[in-house]
Structure 1
Amino acid sequence: MGMKFVTHIDKKRFTTFNENHPNGHALQSIEWGDFKSIGEWTMELVGLEDGHHTLVASAMLLRRKLPGLRRYILYAPRGYVLDYSDINLLQTFTKNMKEYAKKTKAIFVKMDPCIIYKERTIDGDVMDDGIDNSKLIEDIKHMGYHHKGTHLDFEGIQPRFVFKLDVDKDKEALFKSFHHKTRYNIRLGEKKGIEIYEGSIHDLNEFERIMRVTGARDGFITRPLTYFKNMYTSMEPTGKMKVFMARYNVKKALDKAIMDLDKEETSKKPNEDRIKKLKKEIPKLQTLALEHQDGIVVSGAIILLNGKKAWYLYGASDNIYRNLMPNYLLQWHMIKYSMDCGCTLYDFRGISGNLDPNHHLYGLYRFKKGFNGHFVEYIGEFDLVVSKFFYHLWEFWVPRMKRMIRKIKK
């Protein structure tokens, strides 16, 4: 018996396959599909069975209608869940996918798999004897896919460069593996009164506020509150998504300052500069503690989980109290949480492939590099072209029309 392409897969069966496959992903989960379906997308589940009716490939497809046309686009976020080293399997799935797309009036199918392009060192240098999937890119192109290129920044839907951390080890050993400055910043946050707590749907109001602050500071467009609330209601009940918040506990910081002052003043060799600094700091903390008895939220993050993997999806931080290093402590808390959930991989997600220290995204790379993980470059985005005419229209004419409309409006 040969392979059989299947649609309308049982959700439990689909989830089990996605969670246990090496190429399974949170963005391929049914919960992510449910979340995206609240907007302009609809979700479809397809797969490939072998002769024993066992799933060997699957895809959670998002379908979107093109405006003014009875045509659609299909997107498999983070690619199909299958073994990409098995070219025959990929070819068979692609052939069936193209037929399915054509039958359902889709003009192309987009995928962006988490498959390494060229293996790199933590400093971003290509390893001479490392993994090189250049041939795989050519093989995929020969199957009818258009490769969207190997850009360095965030040009695609999903980041092509990410930073990953293996967490299948002892927590203490993992912490010791971090860069000494990262360890220092984590401890600093704890010492200065930063606390991490799991947020509820109500905390998303504050998360979205500081996300807007972050967007204004770093120059990117942010999502509305409804986006995060829809994500929470779709994904949190099954444990696929969590929100964590960092709060500055001013009362705790005040108590620590008072204790430190007493310790210095009763010391055999008191540090006068330290005493002077603490005496100046304590009155400010006393005033702040009265004004903010519940603490001050300074940053937040959203984490996704699927099987034994975790992804840092969104992060936001206020402009105040950044010197207390809340983001370092927040990351360490989420890493430990993912380990407690049985995860063996923590994905920091996007970084730039441009490692020029003057590049505006270099700080993001430097922050994640401090956790001593892996600098990863993926093979990129591919469009399986079904209708050359409509695909050309989508790729060439639609962007030109949008640019013209923007110029007219200006």
Structure 2
Amino acid sequence: MRFIHAADIHLDSPLTGLSAYQDAPADMLRGATRDAFSNLINEAIELQVDFVVLAGDLYDGGWKDHNTGIYFCREMGRLKKAGIPVFAVFGNHDAESEMTKKLQLPDNVVLFDSRKASTVTIDHLKVALHGRSFKEAATTENLARSYPDPRPGMFNIGVLHTALGVHSTHANYAPCSIEELYAKGYQYWALGHVHDFQVWQGTCTVVFPGNLQGRHIRESGARGAVLVTADETGVQQIDRLYVDVLRWHCLEVDAGPCGTLAEVVRAIGRELEGFMAHNTCTLPTAMRIIVAGKTAAHGELFGMEAQLRAEVLALAAAHGTDRLWIEKVKTTTTAAADSEVIRARGDALSDLAQLLEQAELDDDFIKSLQTDLMQMVGKVPLELQQAVPYFKDIRAGELAGLVHEIRPGLLSQLASME
């Protein structure tokens, strides 16, 4: 038999920050989660799989637009026409959704109850599926402990939305351990919640398929589900099904050899050309460029991320491709001349370095700086305020970190002007 295991669809997930970029392919990005899910349904029908397992987070939190749920029902209806049943649990995001409480799903969809773990069987395949949905978003109970014992003589699948207790980047919902899952005696655990593909092979097979579609730079690379082939002896093969329609990629550029902003732009151009020459993926790419390294251009780069992005957009446009969008250019460089070297000079620049160090601890200076900067913050559009992390610090009066960050760049810039 063959079945598809998918999770973390996050239908119509909002993509924040897009309105800050007039050039953003907003329509494509907003529709990406639906398009990826439709690709998954197409694969299930074309492959004629025996069933589909959805391990939670079908929706994306407190959405009240029923068009999202209607779309999901329509896709489930396509599977019904193909004779493919679906077995699903609700995850933490589904527990927040109004749609999960009101929409009537097609009868080929079996949704596991949230009150207790239960079992459904597919007798002609000798398959038993065990699962439990989230009732509340912040479910911190170990749900795996309540799952039923395996059915003898059947291929047992546990469907569970869990952080597995090992992923610090995800909320620790329904925590459990690999050892607990192994001990249950099932043949396969279909997990959801963690958005990266992972497989454990022990006394049984435990899988996170990852999410179907990357939604931001932290979800870079290929995304999709898994196709599981099994027989009476257990899992025989696991194949990844890539169904995403757009991929996120982080391109790192070493600015170490660069002395000016113009040289940094040229370095980015070379790396960008190399990526485009060797990238075999035909899907559109949303790219973030990270400029790093200890460089003499550090001072000139400070505050120039918007200009850098404009320069890079021009480079990408010159290549005539419509498959690449530059989401952001971020600088993480450090000054070539560090503060100790500048302090040792014993001149006016070293005096300024000392004053700037003292300014970080000067409460009166910090308060005065906050007063001046708040005049600017009040005039900036809300979208930009949310996109620039400094604005939150300015409002809170926590400006020592900002002064500390500006200091080496300012000193480096002044030193380069001598």
TM-score for both structures, normalised by structure 1: 0.23
- Structure number with the bigger relative contact order (C-alpha 8 A, sep ≥ 6) is 1
Q: Counting helix residues as a fraction of each chain, which structure ranks higher?
A: 1
TM-score for both structures, normalised by structure 2: 0.23
